Copies of this chain bind each other. A is one copy, B any other.
Amino acid sequence: MQKDWKEWLHKRSPAQVITAYYLISITFSVLLLSLPGVHLPNVEVPFVDTVFTAVSAVSVTGLSVVDISQTYSVFGYFVIMLILQFGGIGIMALGTFFWMLLGKKIGLRSRRLIMADHNQYALSGLVQLVKEIIKMIVFIEIIGMLIFGFHFLKYYSSWEEAFLHALFASVSATTNGGMDITGASLVPFADDYFVQLITIILITLGAIGFPVLIEVKEYLFGRKWEGAYPYRFTLFTKITTITYAGLLIFGTLIIILFEFQHFFQGKSWHESFFYAFFQSATTRSGGLATMDVSEFTMPTLLVMSVLMFIGASPSSVGGGIRTTTFALNILFIWHFARGTRDIKIFRRELHHEDILKSLVITILATIMCFSAVMIMSITDKQFQLIEIIFEVCSAFGTTGLSMGITPDLSTGGKIIIMILMFIGRIGLTSFLFIIGGKEQKTNYHYPKEKIIIG
C-alpha cells in the first residue's frame, strides 16, 4: 500500500502532485465544513458557498461570501484554521520540495536538507521537509498568538476570548489566510499600530517564501549547516527579498501620493502612513485590511490590483504571478532594450529558460485575468468595472481583499473567482503543465524564417 503510493508519486510530475493535493484538500475541506456543529445554530449555508469557503481557505485567499463570525461556531473556527494550515503549508512544502529536487541537479546548498539515500530521496526528503516547515510555521504562529493574546486582554473580557481571537489572528496572518472572526477584518484595530506591525511581520514571514526562511535560518545558525563563510544567499533569495521590499515601499509611497488629498485628508501623518503601509503590505498576499478599501480612489485601486496580481514569493503561502516572475520581466525588458539577452545580477546569470517562463507566465496571467473580468462583466454586470478588476486580481493573487462585492456575486461569478483562486495558488507553472499535457519530443527541424514583429 505504501509502496503503491511511493510508486505513484515517482511517476507523477510536480504539477500533477500539486494539483492532486489541492483537489483532494478542497474535497476534504468541503466535507469538514459540512460537519454538524461547524455552523452556528439555525444558520444554513448553500452548498456553493461552502465550496467557495473551502476553496478560499485551502488557497489561503480569504475572500468570503459569508461573514465567518456570523456563520461558524468556535468549532468551525478551528476547522477553518486547520484548513488554512494545510492549505498554506501544502504548496509551501510541495513547491520548496520540487525546488530542492531541482537544486539537487545544480548544487544548491539547501539540498543538504534532504539527507536520505539517493534512491529514496524523494519520499523521505518530502517528509522531512514537511516536518521542517510545520515546525517553523507553527512556531511562528504560537509566538504570534502569545503576543496578540496578552495584548488582546485589553480588548476582550475573558482570557478565552482574547486567546481565541489571538490564535485566529495569528494563524490567519501567518498563513496569509486573510480571514477574520471580528466581522470586519482589522478595521477595529485601525488605530492600534502594534497589532498592525505584528500582523505585517507575520504576513511577511508567510509570504516571503520558505526557501528564504531556510536560508536565513542557515545564516543565523550557520555551524549547524556546515556553512562556509561568508555565507552566500541564493540568487532566488536575493531577488525575491529585494522585490518584496521594493513592492512594499513602492506601494506605501504611491498610496500616500494618491490619497493624501483624498482618503488621508485631515488625518495625521502617522495615521496616513500606517493606513498606506498596512494596505501596501497586505496586497502581497495577506488580505486583511485596516479600512474599507473601496474608500480609496480609482488610481489607488488600480495600483493595488496590480500589486495583488504580482502577489508573493514562490514557495510561499501567497499567489499571483510571484515576485520573481515580476522581477525577471522588468530586468529582461530593460536588458532587451539595451540589446543584450543575458541578465547579469549579483555576479550570477539567469537561465534563459527562467526568463522565458517568466514572460510566458505574465502574459498568460494577464490573458486569464482579463478574460475573467470580461466574463464577470456579463455574469455580474451590476458591479462597477473596478470592483470586478479588484476582485479578480485579489482572487488570482490569493490576496482576499475586496471592495465588498464577494457576498453578492452570482453563481457564475463565484465559480470564476474559485477557479482564479485555485490557479493563483497552485501557480501558473503548474497550470501550464496541466493544460499542456504530455511533452512532445521531435527531432526534425524546418528552416528558420524571420518575420516582422511590432
Contact = CB atoms under 8 A, between A and B. Distances in A.
A363 B329 contact: yes
A315 interface: yes
Interface stretch (A134-142, A338-346, A412-420): A338-346
A339 B439 contact: yes
A342 B447 CA distance: 11
Contact of A446 (B99, B348, B378): B348
- How many chain copies does the complex carry? 2
Interface stretch (A77-85, A173-181, A366-374): A366-374
Contact of A324 (B337, B342, B378, B453): B453
A378 B299 contact: yes
A452 to B, nearest CB: 4
Contact of A337 (B211, B303, B436): B436
Contacts of A339: 436, 438-440
B448 A349 contact: yes
B321 A454 contact: yes
What 7 A-B pairs are tightest by C-beta distance, nearest first?
A337-B436, A339-B439, A314-B452, A359-B359, A236-B451, A298-B377, A235-B449
Given A325-B453, A342-B442, A385-B386, 8 more contacts: A298-B381, A298-B385, A302-B374, A333-B360, A336-B356, A348-B446, A354-B451, A357-B454
18 contacts: A103-B450, A236-B449, A240-B451, A298-B381, A314-B454, A322-B454, A336-B432, A338-B440, A339-B438, A339-B439, A340-B440, A342-B442, A344-B446, A349-B446, A349-B449, A350-B448, A354-B453, A359-B359
